[in-house]
Amino acid sequence: MSNIVVAGAAGRMGRQLLLAIQEREDLSLCGAFEHPQSTALGVDTGVLTGTGSSSVEIVADIADINASYSTIIDFTTPANTLNLLKYASEKNISLVIGTTGLSDKDKQVLNQAASRTAIVYASNYSVGVTLTLELLAQAAKVLGEKYDIEIIESHHKHKVDAPSGTALSMGESIAEAIGVDLKTNAVMSREGITGARKDNTIGFSTVRAGDIIGEHTALFCGQGERLEITHKATDRMTFARGAVRAAAWVAQQPPGLYNMKDVLAMS
């Protein structure tokens, strides 16, 4: 039995994570925390999710959790994630991180922490998205040099970063497959007279509207045909179940930086 702590427990993903943990007999929720100004402080997590009393109340700081635990699941903000990386690496606690918007500097801290504790980091914990990244790499190896590539992603109006972490992961899979650097070959916006499209570029388009949970499409456009590879999420529990699966797995791993391909034994 692995004991789990959930960061950002009252958020959209946090509540789904609480429910996903309850579905598993090999995991136990032993702590949950939120930012100090949250109106959910002191609320029982079972009451929060509508599943009845759980005896686990939401606290304002991870240091306030007295129970013993092996893993923290974190879908919060880059600033909070950096704090957790320091805390977890010092305490030898494993981490499952789904926070998006990490900078290159943040990822350096992530790599340093992974030398001391086991961390799963993924932009998307859906099994379907993990498979999609593999399909994109295969398609890019066959089509990439002769086909124009565009990535279109759509999310709800409250998402604060763009392009999404998943869209960037898609771009990275494609870029690696065709042998280019995404940082220099990505086209994040177009406006005005942009000129003709340059070869080997990867375009990104972003939609933020309503309550869209997550839709991602990669277009491979050639002369006379177009291949589209699409993933659509209709329920956040898809991501939560994947993250919880990762939490059960990472608790048994040595220090290192892992991804969902490792969790699913696809590497």
- Catalytic positions, please? 155, 159
User: By C-alpha distance, which of 4, 137, 136 is closest to 73?
Assistant: 4
Going across the sheet that includes 186-187, the strands are: 186-187, 202-208, 148-155, 214-221, 226-233
Residue 64 has φ and ψ, to the nearest 5°, of -85, -5
Give the helix ranges, DSSP H, for 115-164: 127-143
Neighbours of 71 (CB within 10 A): 26
Total length of the chain: 267
Q: Which residues of 243-252 are buried (b: 16+ CB within 10 A; e: fewer)?
A: bbbbbbbbbe
First to last CA, the chain: 26
